[in-house]
Amino acid sequence: MTPLLRFENVTCRRGGRLLFEALNMEIASGGALHLGGPNGSGKSSLIRLAAGLLRADAGTIQRVELALADDALALDRELPLRRALAFWTDDARRLDEALDALDLTRLAHVPVRLLSTGQAKRATLARVAVSAAPLWLLDEPLNGLDRDGVERLDALIAAHLVSGGAILTASHAPLGGTWAQMELGS
Amino acid sequence: MIGTLVARDVRRAIGGAAWLPVGFFLVVATLIPFAVGPDPRLLERIAAGGLWIAALTAALLPIERLIEPDRANGVLDQLTIRGISEEAVGAAKVVAHWLTFGPLLLVAAVPSAFILGIAPAALGRTIAALAIGTPGLAALAVMVASLTAGLPRAGALAGVLLLPLAIPLLIFGAGAAGDPESGGLLLEAAVSLVLVAASPFVVGAAIRASRT
């Protein structure tokens, strides 16, 4: 089976500093990979490479259609939450399901700019959940989430993996479920 | 998706600051008689040039909201992830910006022309020259916005970049308004076309280069 994400001998240099060299990894359908490592070890850079937003200095990266949640909200601040999310999908049913999965339905008509940090994080995750992409890239998805939010994210991740998706995440706090581990900067 | 993007940018501009450049244009045009005095012959001679100066300075106002908010908020990244090329995003931004800048500026040019006492015979030529220049100005504004997005003091830098680059438009545009025989209108159209044609590629490269 072809992997959803594949790094082959990938080297990444940022600002003259070598972050990692000749890195190989692969995530297949149903696979969940957790990136660990100290601050500045290149976790976010690896995720941006995987997303195709940065070019690798060497090596090749193969990817399928993907969705990214990082610390950027990418939702129009002046719009109500549901309309802002609707910019990224035409599938109204999927949108309602994502709002419900993250307990955002009661905030659907609240302008995005009024959301709290944790609510904005849930909205970012909802943006990933509405996309039909099989590969999810989650950079620090737990930042700002309360206990209920973490549980909902765990459920969302489990459902995505069961449906054949794959997830790459970088996080300092532990996530539920079983994850393959990869340490950077060691 | 490109159509959706244009519609979104137009909505954001109309709901926000699209009226600001127009108001600014009117204010600058109104300043000219105060600065040089009310002599109708003098005003008539400098009117076309004055309108162009007003148009160029008005074009500077929206620059900071054209690209930077979408870069900072991750919208540009998300569009790339969805397989929309940065060049297509650039083209959509230019179209959306012109739609909310060009027509409004032309509407504001009519009362401004009366304030400056442009001869009725020259009014049509002046408006036509401005109309041909606005797509070029819009393209230039989006290009400069993408080149300065994320930089400190981007607004001031944008002014220093945009105004010199707009000189060819200014020369041919103001010239065409003054003398119908000069061929300035064709040259202005050529400059405007070059700017519009180049803009998606410049914006695309600038968006990619600004990623960290």
Closest CA to A131 of B1, B115, B25: B1
Does residue A40 sit at the B interface (CB-CB below 8 Å)?
Answer: no
**Cα nearest neighbour of A136 on chain B:** B81
> Apex CA A123: angle with CA A49 and CA A29, to 5°?
45
Q: What is the distance between the terminal CA atoms of chain B, rounded to a whole angstrom?
A: 25
**Residues B203, B86: Cα–Cα separation, whole Å:** 7
The three-state DSSP-derived secondary structure of B117-151 is CCCHHHHHHHHHHHHHHHHHHHHHHHHHHHHHCCC
Average pLDDT over residues B181-206: 94
Question: Which residues in chain B are contacts of A127 at CB distance < 8 A?
Answer: 78
| B72 vs A contacts (CB less than 8 Å) | 72
A63 beta partners: A5
Q: Where are the domains of chain A?
A: 69-170
Contacts of A10 (CB under 8 A, 6+ apart): A20, A22, A23, A24, A49, A56, A58, A59, A60, A61
Chain A CB contacts of B81 below 8 Å? 51-53, 66-68
Give pLDDT tens digits for B35-71: 999 899 999 889 999 999 999 999 999 999 999 999 9
> Which of these, B103, B189, B86, B194, lies nearest to B140 by C-alpha position?
B194
Place of tokens 């994080």: A121
CATH match for A69-170 among 3.40.50.300, 3.10.620.30, 1.10.1060.10, 3.20.20.70: 3.40.50.300
Tokens in use for A56?
């690798």
**Candidates A88, A128, A140, partner chain B, best to mutate (most B CBs within 10 A):** A88
Question: From A85, which residue of chain B is nearest by alpha-carbon distance?
Answer: B75
Domain count across chain B: 1
Query: In tens digits, what is the pLDDT along chain A, a chain of 186 residues?
Result: 689 999 999 999 988 889 999 999 999 999 999 999 899 899 999 999 999 999 999 999 999 999 999 999 999 999 999 999 999 999 999 999 999 999 999 999 999 999 999 999 999 999 999 999 999 999 999 999 999 999 999 999 999 999 999 999 999 888 888 899 998 876
Is any Cβ of chain B less than 8 angstroms from the Cβ of A76?
Answer: yes
Question: How many of the other CB atoms lie within 10 Å of CB of B92?
Answer: 24
**Residue from the list B4, B16, B74 with its beta carbon closest to the beta carbon of A70:** B74
The residue type found at B59 is A
Residues of the domain holding B127 = 2-209
Q: Which helix (H) or strand (E) holds A99?
A: helix A92-101
**How far off is chain B from A89, nearest CA to CA, in Å?**
10
Cα of A75 to nearest chain B Cα, Å:
7
Determine the residue among B78, B86, B210 to mutate to test chain A binding: the one whose Cβ has the most chain A Cβ atoms within 10 Å. Answer: B78
- Using the CB atoms, write b or e for B151-169: b if 16+ within 10 Å: eeebeeebbebbbeebebb
Other CB atoms closer than 10 Å to residue B46's CB: what's the count?
15
Cβ-based neighbours of A2, under 8 Å, separated by 6 or more = none
Note the ipTM here: 0.93
**φ, ψ (nearest 5 deg) of residue A67:** -130, 140
